[in-house]
Amino acid sequence: MNEKLVSLRYRYWPDHLLGEILSKRWTETAIPVIVLIAVAIVFSRAIPGFLTPASLADTARQAGEIGFVVLGMSLVIIVGGIDLSVGSMFALTDFCALFCLDILNWPVAAVILVTLAVGGLLGLVNGILIGYFRLRAFITTLITLIVYRAGYDLLILDYSNQIAAAFPDLPSWNFMGGGDLFGVPSVALVYAAVAIFGHVFLTRLRPGWHITAIGGSRRSAYNSGIPVRRTIAQCYLASGVLTAVGALFFAARLGTVGGDIGVGLEVTVLTAAILGGISLGGGKGSVAKALVGTLIVLLITNGLTTLSAPGGVNRMVLAGILLLAAMIDIRWVKNRYRIISKVYVSPTYHAMPPVPSTAADSGTAFALNDRLREVSEIGLGRIEAPEDVILDREDNLYAGSRHGDIIRFFPPDYERMEVYAHIGGQPLGMAFDRRDNLYVCIGGMGLYRITPERKVEKATDETNRSLRSVNDDSRLRLADDLDIADDGRVFFSEATVRYEMHEWPVDGLEARGNGRIVCYDPNANTTRTVLRGLKFPNGVCVAGDGQSILFAETWGCTVKRYWFAGPKTGKVELVLDNLPGYPDNINLASDGNYWLALVGMRCPALDLAWRMPGFRRRMAKRLPIDEWLFPNINTGCVIKFNEQGQVLESLWDLGGVNHPMITSMREHRGHLYLGGIQNNRIGRYKLPGADPDFVQYDVRWGRRA
């Protein structure tokens, strides 16, 4: 009864979502957004009409002006610097715009261009000094702050009266200052356009990634060939231009050159950036954060002004919120990964019937024997981690290696070897198609294809994104094994969508159906997920009818059958249940039956633990990872079964001297070739009574003429 409740609770309560939501990048912005909402609620309660369209439009106008400056500052902070001179640049570009308009009487378009150019120039000075001459950003922009401000003060001494006396009445200029489209202020429209571009730029374009990379680690960025100096200089230049944009709108709105314009602006802008969660030191930040920070600062200052609070209160509130937000944000960023690592692993209930006996005298098909003791070794010490082995029609033997290569051994004795192709990731399952292309599942990379000319091509590394998944499951994380249907479609298993390849034991600890079967159609070049929610699907083999595949679920200890064609299309049927071990690859046997590797044997402790999700959760939270309970993969065997689900025989090696572990096997010309992901050799076993002319791909694709 109690266990029934546990099983229901773990079936319907999505424990895994919390960890997946927390590991989303956007949750980094969660705290600033919550602060923004809280601020908005507090002020809308305290001030009637605080959130009316008119008031919002006014806020938006100021937000736009400061927002541009914050964007520039954010860019500079992300690249690992700081720009204190924005206030003075703001004042100077404001002066420049009004000087060109009021005194030189230039057309608006020219004014805009010249002002932007001046802003860029001022920023470029910073950029050259900091980017190319490697001066410290803080002290350099501090000095330019003083220099620019002094320049501005000297200039307005001569021209402020003339500018104050001029009243330019140009429709386009007025539109910039006070116009709107459908109630949205002009500045907000421009800001939105720039912000959207900025977002795409930072997250999707190469230069944006360069900026983040430099901020994250300048040295690594330099060593990987990114033009560090130029990029940094460009960021300061962009900061100058963006400041000029803000100043242009400010000039159009107010048209003044007072002595205190831009004084202390750098503090406001810095406050906005840090409130938004852009961390000083670089490498982290986004346009959304800059926007949120700007809005918080403006809502607070405007709200307090409306409440006619004295300037001191204004300062205290702003400072208090800055400190509080910085404190929470720093704690959050610092501990987020710790929290995620604690909550990400979410075990579920997984009950299995009592394990069938494998005792030597049990009389079952699993009875222990020593038939594999006579296995001979191929490539001993010369190959590492051959998860799968395969033979082509010319009797060449192929195996993957941990170094990211496909190794080829030459017949007849398989002593001579060569690197057949270098791929770069660890090759797992392999299969030849009709045209002798070798399809390989690469852990962490996806499905690749090696043509007979040894050209490595990517077949696919993504599938359709499922709507209900929080994790982005479009990328293939752990493509495991594959087989190819008669029409050329490739069916391959992806063992888990929640973990990377080296974390596969953790997926076993969860025992949730995290895996799936994916179909790649080379004719249409499409990839679709066909089955989800499988418990570590592993081996895949097209069945004798050509309309279905057999696949093994490692943690489910089952072999199932999925019809992709014919009358039963889409149906899934159980073939083997309650295996005594964890099934791995499945392959064709010469007598029409199937070979199945059991990579490890079940043990009562893990079977019991799988029925106690709470226990496993506590284990994952409280113990270091190397003390967790993991599935055993020390010993295993090869079994043969038929399509009716009967196990016919099993091949064991109790000593495990010649071939310690088994993840895969291929029958070829009367021999069984064995692969093991932790081995440094390939095993070769002479099958008594097997067809000495059996070649898998002659059977599958027909003998070549």
Partner 1 sequence: MKRPRLTQQNIVFAIFVALFAVFSIFLRGFLSADNMLTLLQNVAVLGILGLGMAVVVIGRGIDISLIASLAVPPGLVLEMVQSGHSLPAALGAALALTLAFGLINGWLVAYAEVPSLFTTLASGLFLAGLGQVAFFQLDVVQWSPALDRLAWLGQGGLAGIPTPVLMFALASAAVALFLRTTRLGGFIYAIGDNPYGARVTGIPTRPVIVLQYVLAALIGAFAGMVMAASVNSMPTRIFNSTLIYDVILVVVLGGIGLSGGRGGVVNVVIGTLLIGTMLNGMTILDVSYSGQNLVKGLVLLVAILTDSFVNPRNEETAQQGDI
Q: How far is the CB of 149 from partner 1 (least distance, A)?
A: 7
Within residues 570-599, the interface with partner 1 by CB under 8 A covers none
* 280: contact with partner 1 by CB under 8 A: yes
Smallest gap from Cβ 654 to partner 1, in A, equals 51
| Smallest gap from residue 540 Cβ to partner 1 (A) | 46
Q: Which is nearer to partner 1, 264 or 688 (CB)?
A: 264
Name the residue among 347, 331, 351 with its Cα closest to residue 339: 331
Counting contacts by CB under 8 A, is residue 274 touching partner 1?
Answer: yes
Neighbours of 485 (CB within 10 A): 18
User: Which stretch, 5-13, 274-282, 372-380, 492-500, contacts partner 1 (CB under 8 A)?
Assistant: 274-282
Using an 8 Å Cβ cutoff, are 515 and 526 in contact? no
> Of the two residues 187 and 261, which places its CB atom closer to partner 1 in the complex?
261
CA quadruple 687, 689, 693, 694: dihedral sign: negative
Residue with Cβ nearer partner 1 (88 or 558): 88
Amino acid symbol at 352: M
- For residue 318, state whether it binds partner 1 (rule: CB under 8 A): yes
Nearer Cβ to partner 1, position 233 or 687?
233
Rank residues 221 and 620 by Cβ distance to partner 1 and give the closer one: 221
SS3 readout for 582-610? EEEEEEECCCCCEEEEEEEECCHHHHHHH
Of 229 and 700, which CB lies nearer to partner 1 in the complex structure?
229
CA-to-CA dists, residue 597 to 4, 295, 601, 700, angstroms: 33, 60, 11, 21
| Strands 594-601 and 581-588, sheet pairing | antiparallel
* Gap between the Cα atoms of 114 and 108, Å rounded: 10
Q: What angle do CA 338, 340, 342 make, to 5 degrees?
A: 70
For helices 86-98 and 53-78, give the axis angle rounded to 10 degrees. Answer: 120
Length in residues, the chain: 705
Place of tokens 């923004």: 36
Site for partner 1 in 127-166 (CB under 8 A): 129, 133-140, 142-147, 149-151, 153-154, 157
Rounded to the nearest whole angstrom, what is the least distance from the CB of residue 310 to partner 1 in the complex?
A: 6
Please name every residue paired with 581 in a beta bridge, in sequence order, or none if there are none: 601
The Cα–Cα gap between 660 and 562 comes to: 32
Whole-number minimum distance, CB 283 to partner 1, in Å?
9
From the list 15, 84, 142, 674, the residue with the least C-alpha distance to 386 is 674
Of the candidate residues 243, 271, 426, 664, the single one contacting partner 1 (CB under 8 A): 271
Which C-beta is closer to partner 1: that of 313 or that of 608? 313
Closer CB to partner 1, 143 or 530, in the complex: 143
Backbone angles phi, psi at 433, to 5 degrees: -95, -175
Of the candidates 268, 302, 275, the residue with the CA atom closest to the CA atom of residue 290: 275
**Is 312 among the residues that bind partner 1 (CB under 8 A)?**
yes
Which range of residues in 273-281, 380-388, 406-414, 494-502 is near partner 1 by CB under 8 A?
273-281
For residue 700, state whether it binds partner 1 (rule: CB under 8 A): no
Instruction: Please list every residue from 205 through 224 that binds partner 1, using CB under 8 A.
Output: 217-219, 221-223
Instruction: Closer to partner 1 by CB, 312 or 363: give it.
Output: 312
Q: State both tokens at 560.
A: 């199932």
Residue 540 CA: distances (Å) to CA of 215, 367, 551, 596, 638:
45, 25, 4, 10, 15
Closest CA to 689 of 590, 603, 610: 590
Lookup: tokens for 15 = 């424990």
Beta bridge partners of 516: 494
By the rule CB under 8 A, 82 interacts with partner 1: yes
Among 307, 323, 380, 648, binds partner 1 (CB under 8 A): 323
Stretch that binds partner 1, among 22-30, 326-334, 380-388, 623-631 (CB under 8 A): 326-334
Owner of token pair 């066909």: 530
Q: How far is the CB of 105 from partner 1 (least distance, A)?
A: 27
What's the min distance (Å) between Cβ of 239 and partner 1? 14
Smaller CB separation from partner 1, 44 or 217: 217
Measured distance CA(15)–CA(37) in Å, rounded:
27
Distances (CA, A) of 451 to 23, 435, 456, 527, 687: 38, 9, 7, 20, 31
Please report how close the Cβ of residue 600 comes to partner 1 at its closest, in angstroms: 42
Tell me the closest approach of the beta carbon of residue 279 to partner 1, in angstroms: 9
For the bound state, the minimum distance from the C-beta of residue 299 to partner 1, rounded and expressed in Å, comes to: 17
Q: Which is nearer to partner 1, 232 or 637 (CB)?
A: 232
- Between CA 159 and CA 165 the distance in angstroms is 10
Dist. CA 605–CA 607, nearest whole Å: 5
User: Which positions from 334 through 353 interact with partner 1, judged by CB under 8 A?
Assistant: 334
CB of 42 to partner 1, least distance (A): 18
As a whole number of angstroms, the distance between CA 11 and CA 311 comes to 57
Q: Which one of 98-106, 275-283, 653-661, 689-697 is the stretch in contact with partner 1 (CB under 8 A)?
A: 275-283
Phi, psi angles (nearest 5°) of residue 443: -60, 130
Residue 192 or 328 having the CB closest to partner 1: 328
Query: Considering the complex, what minimum distance in angstroms separates the CB of residue 331 from partner 1?
Result: 8
Number of residues that bind partner 1 (CB under 8 A): 57
Residue number, 72 or 282, with CB nearest to partner 1: 282
> With binding defined as CB under 8 A, does residue 322 bind partner 1?
yes
Tracing tokens 């599935």 back to the chain, one arrives at 631
> Bridge-partner residues for 561, per DSSP?
550, 573
Does 179 interact with partner 1 (rule: CB under 8 A)? no
What string marks each residue from 282 to 301 as x (binds partner 1 by CB under 8 A) or -?
Answer: x-------------------
Q: How far apart are CA 81 and CA 77, in angstroms?
A: 5
Q: Which of 24, 199, 315, 371 binds partner 1 (CB under 8 A)?
A: 315
Q: Is 27 exposed, middle or buried (0-12, 13-18, 19+ CB in 10 A)?
A: middle
Closest approach of Cβ 33 to partner 1, in Å? 20
Query: Among residue numbers 240 through 269, which ones bind partner 1 (CB under 8 A)?
Result: 263-264, 267
Q: How far is the CB of 84 from partner 1 (least distance, A)?
A: 8
Contact positions toward partner 1, by CB under 8 A? 80-82, 129, 133-140, 142-147, 149-151, 153-154, 157, 217-219, 221-223, 228, 263-264, 267, 270-271, 274, 280-282, 310-316, 318-320, 322-323, 326-327, 330-331, 334
